[in-house]
Each structure stands twice: as C-alpha cells, then as structure tokens.
Amino acid sequence: MQDLPAGKPVVTDTHPSLLDRTMEAAARATPEPLANTVRGLSDRMVAWLFIAPTILLLLAINIFPLIWAIQLSFTNYRANRPNEVVKNIGLQNYERILTDTDTWIAMQTTAHFVFWTILLQTLIGFTLAYLIDRKFRGHAFWTTIILVPMMLSPAVVGNFWRFLYEPQIGLFTYIVSFFTGIATTDILMLSNVKLAPWSIIIVDTWMWTPYVMLICLAGLRSIPDYIYEAAEVDRASNWRQFWSITLPMALPFIMLAVLFRGIENFKMFDMVNLLTGGGPGSTTEVASITLKREAFEKWRTGFSSAFAIILFVAVFGLANIYVKVLNRVKSR
C-alpha cells in the first residue's frame, strides 16, 4: 500500500465489525515508512501485531478466569483443600443457590440498594446538572467542587465516613443531632438495623451523584440553544420547555447514567465491606458480600463460582435488555 487516500476504506466491508474498524483506524494511523519497512507483512498483519498485547492481556485476566470459574461452578472444589479429590457434581451448586433463602435475601438487599441509590443519584444529579447548566457566575468553580467526591478512592471514602458516622465523635451524627435534637448516642448509623442500609445509600449517593450529574450535564449541553429559542418564540412556558424539550432530549443520557450506576452498584462491595461488613446481622449483606463470605471465609470455591456466574448472567441480561430499551428511546 503506497498511500492511504483519506476517506477510502482500507478494509472494505459493507458492515465492518468493531475489530475491523479498529484495525482500519490503526492502518490509517500507521505512518507510511513503517508500513514499508515491515516488509513481507500485510497491513492486516501489522494491525494484528499492534492489538495482540491487549488481546492477550484480556484473555489472560478476563476470559480465562471466566471460563475457569464456569468450570469450577460444576464441582465441589474448595481452594483451601487443594489435595482433596474434586468431584463433578453437575448443577447441584446452582440448584442450592436458587433454592436457598439466604441468597435470595442477599439479592433483595442488593436490589434495594440499587433502587434507592439510583433513584437518589438520578434525582439529585439531574437537578444539580440542571442548575449548573443555567451558567450562572462561577458555575465552573462549583462544578469542580461538586466533582471532588467522585475523584476520591472508595477505600478512603469508606474509612472517613466511618468516622463521620461515629456516634461519639462523628460530624454527621453531630449535625443530625443538632437539627433533630436526638441524642448523638442514639444515632447509630452503622449498627442500627434500620439505619445501616441507609448509611450505605447515603455514602454511595454522596460519592456518585457527581458522576450522574456529569453525564446529565453532557445531555443538557447537547440540546442546542435555538431549540429553546424556537420554543420561547412559540410561547412555551419554562415549565413546558422543561417537560417537552429538556427532559425528553436529555433522557437517553439520564438512562445511560442509570445503566452505569446500576451495573456498578449491583456489584457494590468495597463501600459495604468497609462500612458495615454486611452487618448488623445480615441487614446490609449484598450479593457481593455473600459471595466473598462463601469464597474466602467458608472456602466453598465451587459453590461461590456458581453464585458469581448467576450474578454475572443476571447483570449481563438486565443490562442487555436495558440497552435495547435505551436504543429505542434514542432512535425515537
């Protein structure tokens, strides 16, 4: 290939796959001298060489463990007893998980978290984005301030919220007590059965609302000004502009934020583990905590592999259905 005229596809295909398009982009970006010096190799080969490290890495740390976990899920293997004979027990693990009340409770707890965190984060995030989009004085400054929690490490966040929730010295408890008059010693955010789930919802909302806000803001910014101007001339009130222009046009973005947060919170682990460790009792025991207990406390490796696969299929399935809906909304 002597030259790559712009606009002329290197890999001709009526429906180029992502891989093809990536390779085409790679071929296009390859400086000509390089393509010429690597003699004997076709452009396609050169492209493959460039993406090979990534693909190998993906295979090694994603695909291979997944396949192995699937295989383990049909056995009674225990990682802490490597010398024991591994028996193939078919679908027994799956059967036990799907009929076990504890795992169902864990799933319900997870669903509960996902629902409330998404609801709060979407409402607050969108509201913040809507306000920031008014472009008032200093809006860039406030955007940065709002984004700070998102940039922190979850481990740090979990630890310092544990201090904030502290009944004796915690700032959060102090403030709540100041406004409600309830004694600080009665506000046991992390050990009260009723409050513990909310303590986690609050932290997750505090940390990830900015993320939702950012995506919503991108959505709001994508609505061109002249649409609003047309609506203004058409005598649509602010209220009507919001419901008939702002919300429908930002909806795909909001749904995208919900998707990301949903997948993320379905496997919420670090924050729960740091704040309550699943307690008190099992009130905040989300699926990922159950999974960790089964895998690394009880060492039921085969069983927990099966559980992980079930979770994976559930998230994957739900996400796929959701993406279909999202695409329909987008193409309206």
- Residues at the contact surface with other proteins, assessed by CB under 8 A: 224, 226-227, 229-237, 240, 244-245, 248-249, 332
In whole angstroms, give the CA distance from residue 82 to residue 73: 16
∠ at Cα 294 (293, 298), nearest 5°?
Answer: 90
- Identity of the residue, 176 or 249, whose beta carbon is nearer to other proteins in the bound complex: 249
- Identity of the residue, 84 or 229, whose beta carbon is nearer to other proteins in the bound complex: 229
Residue 103 Cβ, how far from other proteins at the closest point, in Å?
42
Please state the φ and ψ torsions of residue 158, each to the nearest 5 degrees: -60, -45
- Which residues are registered as beta bridge partners of 88? 75
- Identity of the residue, 38 or 245, whose beta carbon is nearer to other proteins in the bound complex: 245
- Identity of the residue, 3 or 234, whose beta carbon is nearer to other proteins in the bound complex: 234
Residue 126 Cβ, how far from other proteins at the closest point, in Å?
17
Residue 14 Cβ, how far from other proteins at the closest point, in Å?
23
- Identity of the residue, 55 or 230, whose beta carbon is nearer to other proteins in the bound complex: 230
Residue 253 Cβ, how far from other proteins at the closest point, in Å?
13
In whole angstroms, give the CA distance from residue 81 to residue 79: 5
DSSP codes joined into one string, 232-292: HHTT--HHHHIIIIIHHHHHHHHHHHHHHHHHHHHT--HHHHHHTTT-STTTT--HHHHHH
In whole angstroms, give the CA distance from residue 23 to residue 104: 45
Residue 242 Cβ, how far from other proteins at the closest point, in Å?
13
